[in-house]
Amino acid sequence: MALTVLTHPLAAHLLVRLRDKSTPPDQFRRTTSILTTLLVLEATRTIAYAETHVATPIKITSGQILSQALGAVPVLRAGLGMLDSVVQLFPDVAVGYIGLVRDETTAVASRYYRKLPDLKGRFTLCLDPMLATGGSATQAIEMIKAAGATNIVMVCVVAAPQGVAQLTHTHPDVQIVSAALDEGLDDRRFIVPGLGDFGDRLYGTE
């Protein structure tokens, strides 16, 4: 299973705040931003770097600098809540957007928007906070690969075993980084215990 679950105590603390149904939208957004920072730091652990030398006020010393460009693709609309953290960490990131809407009866997602840069050679993050059935993630990764990306990490807040299994089956080369692996899905295919509809809670549209 190509899944990494954060074990940092701060990540666990932030996740509880997101799960809490009484957390208002403004706090939900701030908490999402902080947790995303932790997720992205883990997700980019294998990004390429190069050796360099720098002159400090004392002497010349060696160090490492990033040598691989980054791409980020949030899945609309919930994935937008994760984007700012990526831009703060990597200001030169190339950003694309994929819009998918889920049919509440079938849980099948259909695309309504796609705008992607050339992702060839870029270490690319697919941002979608909820990995439920894996259908949306699978479609998004297919489009990201079509844009040239070959080094892709799926970044989510919570994941269901069904979604992890689906994405691992369809895209075994894609690593998944999540703050939690939850119990599963209910009869509406919502993640249990989950945290509700992420987009609604993010934007106060419940």
Residues that are catalytic:
102, 106, 197, 200
CA dist., res. 147 & res. 154, Å (int)? 16
Tokens for 8, please give them. Answer: 């940092």
Indicate the average pLDDT of the chain: 93
Of 162, 129, 143, the residue nearest 31 (C-alpha): 129
CA dist., res. 148 & res. 121, Å (int)? 7
**How does pLDDT run across 9-26, given as a tens digit for each residue?**
999 999 999 999 999 999
At residue 128, the pLDDT reads: 96
Report whether pLDDT(105) > 90.
no
CA dist., res. 79 & res. 112, Å (int)? 15
Parallel, antiparallel or unpaired: strands 184-185 and 151-159: unpaired
**How does pLDDT run across 133-175, given as a tens digit for each residue?**
999 999 999 999 999 999 999 999 999 999 999 999 999 999 9
Task: Classify 24 as helix, strand or coil.
Answer: coil
Asked whether 74 and 80 are in contact (CB, 8 A), the reply is yes
Amino acid sitting at position 83: L
Work out the percent of the chain whose per-residue pLDDT is above 90. Answer: 85
Q: List residues bridging with 148 in a β-sheet.
A: none
At residue 107, the pLDDT reads: 59
As a residue count, the chain comes to 206
At residue 22, the pLDDT reads: 95
Task: Classify 58 as helix, strand or coil.
Answer: coil
Report whether pLDDT(109) > 90.
no
Asked whether 86 and 127 are in contact (CB, 8 A), the reply is yes
CA distances 104 to 112, 119, 186, 187, Å, are 16, 31, 13, 11
CA dist., res. 157 & res. 19, Å (int)? 11
At residue 93, the pLDDT reads: 96
**How does pLDDT run across 23-70, given as a tens digit for each residue?**
999 999 999 999 999 999 999 999 999 999 999 999 999 999 999 999
Parallel, antiparallel or unpaired: strands 3-5 and 175-181: parallel
Report whether pLDDT(3) > 70.
yes
CA pseudo-torsion sign 7, 8, 9, 15: negative
